[in-house]
Structure 1
């Protein structure tokens, strides 16, 4: 019998699909769970167990603590001796500065002093609010100063101090002002001695050790 006749006989005796099933075995449809559905199930499980609520509370507490207690400005310590120096705020104009009518007031490259155009009407008082003595000093200075005072913290909770004083308190975010004025010790006062002054005076205040806590 030829090979072709033998193959024909085999094909006629055994159904083709039966031979394939025997070789491959039972098949199943390929299924894949939706990724978002898996996420939803896991979140639901965490919610049911209370884990999700605990995570949300922890995140809120962390955010609230960061707002209430900003990172202290590095390199600033309590003053141990008084000091006075002056700061010249003059800067070179990067471009022409014009008035409302378009007239050039300051040409590019010219040294310009902001105090020639607008004075500093307030006293800037920098303190570390973690130091109770500095807080008392700032409160007393605020209440007795002849000029308005803007209290700026370098450490401590400005939110807590605002609630205590019931008035605005600020924080030197990123150390921008203390860096500009090169303040490394507090309490420190920054102010314009007179309307005609073209420099700012910076006083470092040394509080008495006897009153310190």
Structure 2
């Protein structure tokens, strides 16, 4: 008991005793902290790259990569080949979340209003979505475009739009990142989109409507 009390007292004395510090000298080598300016570092690296020709190589590779992407964009994922004809309507109306005013403060849309953009604008063209690697679908899209006197936009979800333009002398677009197909829930091609009154008619066209058209064109 006494020994435990003495040990506790000594430990308390060490912890609670007067604080003091002592210089033990320098241990190891010390260096001044020097942080190079980031812009200076980048400029130096660019100078070295320019002197060695590496910068020209990087520019050439970047240009080639950009050209490859433009000529053949990444395919839109999750789009299959249509196996049957399916059609549905899409209502573009939105409910206004809060009052919207113009630059003069005049409210032109109030919270809770149901607004349909087709009340003021309209789709003047038909939009056709195809796989540009499928010759039958390409032939189908061109035929559909001809039937409406060119008032149709052909949008690829796969393929090389510039090569197809050169071959068919028709403008082709690409659904970069699947922005349009995802927005309208298109999961198979060929598909079409057209306005019907105040809604949009979307149709995924089965093989009976387009398969074999490329061979017929050749004949």
TM over 0.5: yes
Which residue does 1:108 correspond to in 2?
111
Q: Is the 8 A contact 1:128 1:154 kept in 2?
A: yes
**CA displacement 1:36-78 (0-9 Å, x = unmatched):** 678645642x33xxx6544433222111101111111111011
Q: Is the 8 A contact 2:81 2:190 kept in 1?
A: yes
Query: 111, 130, 133: which one pairs with 1:127?
Result: 130
Matched residue count? 173
Moved more, 59-68 or 103-112: 103-112
Query: 74, 78, 81: which one pairs with 2:81?
Result: 78
Return the alpha-carbon distance in structure 2 between the equivalents of residues 184 and 85 of structure 1: 13
**CA displacement 1:135-188 (0-9 Å, x = unmatched):** 111111111125711111111122222333334322212212111110000111
Residue ranges of structure 1 left out of the alignment (5+ in a row): 1-33
- TM-score, normalized by length of structure 2? 0.67
Confirm or deny that 1:175 pairs with 2:178: yes
Return the alpha-carbon distance in structure 1 between the equivalents of residues 152 and 163 of structure 2: 18
C-alpha RMSD over aligned residues = 2.9
Q: Where in structure 2 are the equivalents of 1:157-196 lying within 5 Å?
A: 157-193=160-196
- TM-score, normalized by length of structure 1? 0.69
Moved more, 82-91 or 169-178: 169-178
State the Cα distance separating 1:207 from its structure 2 match: 2.7
Q: Where in structure 2 are the equivalents of 1:33-72 lying within 5 Å?
A: 40=47, 43-44=50-51, 46-47=52-53, 53-72=56-75
Q: Is the 8 A contact 1:123 1:147 kept in 2?
A: no
Which residue does 1:207 correspond to in 2?
207
User: In 2 relative to 1, CA 55–138 (structure 1 residues): closer, same or farther, beyond 3 Å?
Assistant: same
Confirm or deny that 1:118 pairs with 2:146: no
Query: 127, 139, 144: which one pairs with 2:142?
Result: 139
Return the alpha-carbon distance in structure 1 between the equivalents of residues 120 and 49 of structure 2: 62
